Structure formats: structure tokens, C-alpha cells
Amino acid sequence: MANTSSPKPQPVNSKSPKKGKKEDGWLSYHIRATFGPLFLMTSTPTSLVIVWMINQFYDGSILRFVREITWKDLTARWPVPDLTTVSIVLTFAVFEALLLVFVPGRIFKGPITPAGNQPTYRLNGVASYLLSLATLIICFVSGVIPLDLVYDNLGKILQFMSYVSFVFCIFLYFKGIYFPSSTDSGTSGNIVWDFYWGTELHPQLSSSFNLKQYCNCRLGMMGWAVLIVCFAAKQYSQLGYITNSSIASLILQQIYIFKFYLWEDGYFASLDIMHDRFGYYICWGVLSWIAGIYTFVSQFLVNHPIDLPPVLFYGYLALGIFFVWANYDADAQRLRVRQTKGNTTVWGSKPKIMTAKYKTSDGKEHSSILLLSGWWGIARHVHYITEIGLSFMWTVPAGFTYILPYFYVVYLTILLFDRSHRDELRCRAKYGKYWNTYSKEVPYRVIPYIY
């Protein structure tokens, strides 16, 4: 799922990095816990708008932007939110909140947290996804929403979301300190790190409204699905049809997002949910970065129509669908093995598993099943390669004339390799000798025989 990333400390129990270790001196600590987060929090909001601006006013060319930009042009073209912007964002946010609360769905208990708590979620993602897209298309067809409304206001929407997200992060910071929803909360004494990383793991407005689920799944991921449909609608309003390059990219992105909702309970066992606290790093990322960066290739294709030869169109779709299937199958294998305690098959054979014991901060002992066969016998984080491959396949319809459409692919690659490193540190700290044994059984981290 989704957000900005930087080299940062590795709190195995969702707390802050510790100071004072000889191997982790003052400078090293503050680069990871102070200067790095400060850089990201000041640079990402500006980068978000500049990427949009390059596409909107400079034909998607970084070189042209660098050559032609002036301070006067930058300030004149910088988007300023207005009432239309506010109404678009608030309508969507309220609509998604209503779907989360009122659409039927089973209640799912997530993994036990480092402090021994167990968050609950309402699993109605697939129905909410279908209702969201159906409502949007009906509004387009009926004329309630002009085809070009969202695209033409995108810069203002991104700027408004950046403002709102930052203010919301301030709310989350103080909520985690003074009104935490569980014992998975607290501060480190470093206000920069606490604001960036978060002061609470699973903030809730009520027992049935999980803010992390709402922001990550209903605003971030659903916003992605809705926005790329709006961009296709804009191209249709300009050309009278949608190019097959836009269609190929749209289909692959929507399949990926649909898979996300189909597997929503599995997502709640991911790093974003289980261990990363809900501060700027996650919150601003899912509310702002996803809208501007994850959707960028669809933005780019609006004004760069490309009609692909049929062999490329179907080839890109086939390869992209393979990566979706591989990613889903890998996640499904692991989930199925854990749910059945190994009493199942993986690739037609009995799975090779090991039971790893660990303790939560309340002193209670628990255990997890680690899968050593199937996809997970190839590499310990093999699913990251399928995600990178899929992102490339929905980007390649934009061609290779411009570099900027591949920004997300490069960003995702850096994020996932960094995440694999953080996964390793966290799992080694959590499982100890069991993870060392697992690493010997499955020696490659991400890419077999390479890394």
C-alpha cells in the first residue's frame, strides 16, 4: 500500500529509536530521527505540486521545466484551493465514511499488536469499491459531474489535501498523547520523530471507526481508483474516445486496487498496519502522495495520447495480469497456511513451515507460522518484485520518450527495498533465533541469487 519512505530507525515495538548506543551515535540518530523526517516533511508537499505542474504546464518534461521555470511563473501557477476544491474533497470523504460505517461487512480482528491489543476492522471493501465506481460513472453519464471537473481542479485538490493532511497529522499527534485509543501509543521525547512517525498505532474515533483503515483504505486507495477514472473521463471529453494506452494502464491499476480490497483482511497484517504508527509518514502519504504520485501515469496519458499496436496492448495486459496473480497468490499462500496451521497444500505439495515464537511487550508468548515453500521459498520478500513488475507494466504504455511517468516505479522500488530491510530488522528482533533459522532456509531477501 502506499506512502513516502526514508531511511529511518527500526522500532521493533512501534516506539521511537533509542539513543546512546555506541554504534548509533548522535549524528546517526538525528539523521534518521530528526533531519531525515524534517527533509521529507518539507520537501514532499512541494514535490507533489511540482510534479503536477510539470505535467500540466511543461508537457511532462523535467528538462523543459528546469529550462523555462521562473519564480514569477512558479508563484502564478501554484494552485490555490477554492470552494469547488473543498466541495469535491469533502463530498468524497463523507461518502466514503458513510460506506465504511453502513455497508454490511464482517468484523475482522487484526493481528495482536506489540502491546498485546487486537484491533478490529469492518471488511466491506469490495462492496465499497464497486459502489464508489458505480456512483462516479452514474454521475458522469447523468451529467451531475462534468467529465473534466476533477482533472481540471487536480492541482487545487492536491494542494488542499496537503494542507488538510498536515492539519490532521497535528490532530493525530495530540490525540495519541492525550486521548490514545489503546496502549500502543506514546512519545519518544523527539517531537520531530513523534510527529513524523506518529504517537499512536491504531487511532480510532469510536470502537467501530478505525482511522487508519478509513484513511489508508477508503480515502487513499479508493481515491486512487476514483481519480484514474476521472482522468480517463477527461481524455474522453477531449478526444471523444479513450486511447488503448490509457485503457491498459487503467485496467491494470483497477485490477490491482480490486485485489487490494479482495484481500483487505490480509492487508491488515502488513507492515503499514501492524507496526508503522499513524503519523505524517503514513497519514500524509496516503491522503496526499497517493493522489498525486500513484496516479501520475494516468494524469500524463490524458495529454499524451498513445495508440498502442494490438500486440503491445494485449502483451502489457497479459504481463500485468500475471504480476497481479503472482502477488495475490503469494499473499494467499501465506494467509491460507496460517489460517489452516499448515493443513493445506502449496503448489500441490504439503507446505514446508516452521513455528516461530515471540513475546509482546506485556510479556505474553505467542507464535506465528512461517512459510518456507511456494513463493516464500524463493525469497523472503518475493512479493515486492511482483509489485514492482506490475507498476512497470501499467507505466510502460506511456512509452519511453519521457522520464517522469517512471517516477512512481523508481520511488516504489526504493520504498520496497528499504521496507525489506526494515522487515528484516523487525522480524529478527521479534523472532530472534527462529528468524535466523528461517533466513538460512530461505537465503535470498528479494531477488533469488542476487539479493
Residue 205 has pLDDT above 70, yes or no: yes
Give the pLDDT score at 425. Answer: 83
Q: Is 424 exposed, middle or buried (0-12, 13-18, 19+ CB in 10 A)?
A: middle
User: What's the pLDDT band for 10 if we cut at 50, 70, 90?
Assistant: very low
Residue 19 has pLDDT above 60, yes or no: no
Give the pLDDT score at 393. Answer: 96
Give the pLDDT score at 4. Answer: 40
Tell me what the mean pLDDT of segment 374-387 comes to. Answer: 89
Give the pLDDT score at 410. Answer: 94
27: CB partners within 8 A, 6+ apart: none
pLDDT digits (tens, 9 = 90+) for 429-440: 888 888 888 898
Give the pLDDT score at 14. Answer: 42
Tell me what the mean pLDDT of segment 194-218 comes to. Answer: 91
User: What's the pLDDT band for 15 if we cut at 50, 70, 90?
Assistant: very low
Of the candidate ranges 86-100, 109-123, 151-165, the one whose mean pLDDT is the lowest: 109-123
- Take residue 144 and report the three cell numbers written for it: 451531475
Give the pLDDT score at 308. Answer: 95
Residue 214 has pLDDT above 50, yes or no: yes
Residue 408 has pLDDT above 60, yes or no: yes
420: CB partners within 8 A, 6+ apart: 380, 381, 384, 445, 446
More confident residue, 30 or 96: 96
Residue 212 has pLDDT above 60, yes or no: yes
Mean pLDDT of the chain: 89
Tell me what the mean pLDDT of segment 4-30 comes to. Answer: 49
> Scanning the structure block, which residue is given the C-alpha cell 477527461?
234
Tell me what the mean pLDDT of segment 293-319 comes to. Answer: 96
Percent of the chain with pLDDT over 90: 61
CA 243 to chain centre: 27
Give the pLDDT score at 434. Answer: 87
User: What's the pLDDT band for 17 if we cut at 50, 70, 90?
Assistant: low
Give the pLDDT score at 2. Answer: 44
Residue 217 has pLDDT above 90, yes or no: yes
Shortest CA distance to 443 belongs to which of 388, 272, 148, 451?
451
- Take residue 74 and report the three cell numbers written for it: 512558479
Give the pLDDT score at 68. Answer: 95
pLDDT digits (tens, 9 = 90+) for 270-300: 766 878 899 999 999 999 999 999 999 999 9
Tell me what the mean pLDDT of segment 355-360 comes to. Answer: 82
Amino acid at 113: T
Shortest CA distance to 387 belongs to which of 420, 422, 412?
412
More confident residue, 211 or 356: 211
User: What's the pLDDT band for 108 if we cut at 50, 70, 90?
Assistant: confident
Of the candidate ranges 18-32, 196-210, 331-345, 413-427, the one whose mean pLDDT is the lowest: 18-32
pLDDT digits (tens, 9 = 90+) for 55-95: 999 999 999 999 999 999 999 999 999 999 999 999 999 99
Residue 155 has pLDDT above 80, yes or no: yes
Give the pLDDT score at 20. Answer: 45
Give the pLDDT score at 302. Answer: 96
Give the pLDDT score at 7. Answer: 32
Taking the C-alpha atoms of residue 373 and residue 448, their distance in angstroms, rounded to an integer, is 14
